Amino acid sequence: MAASLTQIIYKEEQRAECYPFANVYFNDKLTIFFENEVILKLVPWTTVDKIGVCSWKLKQKQRWNVGRPREITKELLESDYEVLSFTKNTHWHQMMAASERWHPGFRLAMHSMCDGLGIQVPTEVKQPVYQNAFMARYDIYMEYLTNYLVPVIDRITYDPAVLMEVSKDSRYHELAKTDAAPREWLQKQIGMPFYPLCPFLLERLFPIFCHNKKINVSYI
C-alpha cells in the first residue's frame, strides 16, 4: 500500500535532518496549534493509503524510545497496520497521569476542550502516542480529523474561556531545556514567551481517539 510521510521544518537547515523518503513541508507561520494546523492542510488532500505528518525532529526523538525499536524505512511505512506509532514507552507508562505531572492543569484544559463535543476523556489510555509521530490509514486519520481535531480547534478558536485554559504555560522549557525553542522566538511567533498547553493537549487527542474507538496501535 502506498504511504506518505511528511516532516515539517521552519528553517532550511532542518531539511537535512529529515528522512530521505519523506516529503518536507516548510511552515513559515506558527500558531498555538503548532503542527496540527499543517496536518489539517495536508491530510484531507492526500491520495495515498497511509499518511503521517510530524516534526523534522523525528530522528532525534527516537532516542527517547524504549527497547529496540525498528528502523523507520519506506518499507515499514508501507507495511500492514491501522496506526503505526513512532514513539514507544514502557508497558507501565501512563500517558494521562504523566501529562498532568509534566504539564499542570492538563486534565482541566483537556476537559474544557472536549466536554460537550461528544469526546470522552478517559482516565487513562492503553496505547500512548506522542508528538503526532505516527502513520495511520487514511480513513482512520480522516475520522480523527472530522470528529476530534476539527471540532476541538473550532472550540479553542471561538470560545474565549477554552482559549484561556489552553494558552497557559505548559512548563515545557523547564522539562526540555535545550530541546525547547528560545522564548524570544516564541514571543515573535505566537505572542507568548513559552509553549502553551495547547499543542501538548492536541497531540494527546489522537491516542484518546484511538482508545475510544478501539483502534489498534502498532509500535516500531
Residue-range domain boundaries for the chain: 3-219
Q: Please give the C-alpha separations between residue 110 and each of 39, 69, 121, 130, 147, in angstroms, as whole numbers.
A: 20, 30, 8, 15, 16
pLDDT of residue 54: 95
pLDDT digits (tens, 9 = 90+) for 171-183: 999 888 778 888 9
The sign one gets for the Cα dihedral 22, 91, 66, 202 is positive
The residue to which cell 515545557 is assigned: 172
pLDDT digits (tens, 9 = 90+) for 21-56: 999 999 988 999 999 999 999 999 999 999 999 999
Look up the pTM and report it.
0.93
Q: Please give the C-alpha separations between residue 152 and each of 116, 148, 164, 205, in angstroms, as whole numbers.
A: 10, 6, 14, 9
Strands (E), the chain: 3-9, 23-26, 50-55, 83-85, 134-137, 217-219
Residues 6+ apart with CB under 8 A from 146: none
pLDDT digits (tens, 9 = 90+) for 153-206: 999 999 999 999 999 999 999 888 778 888 999 999 999 999 999 999 999 999
pLDDT digits (tens, 9 = 90+) for 77-95: 999 999 999 988 878 889 9
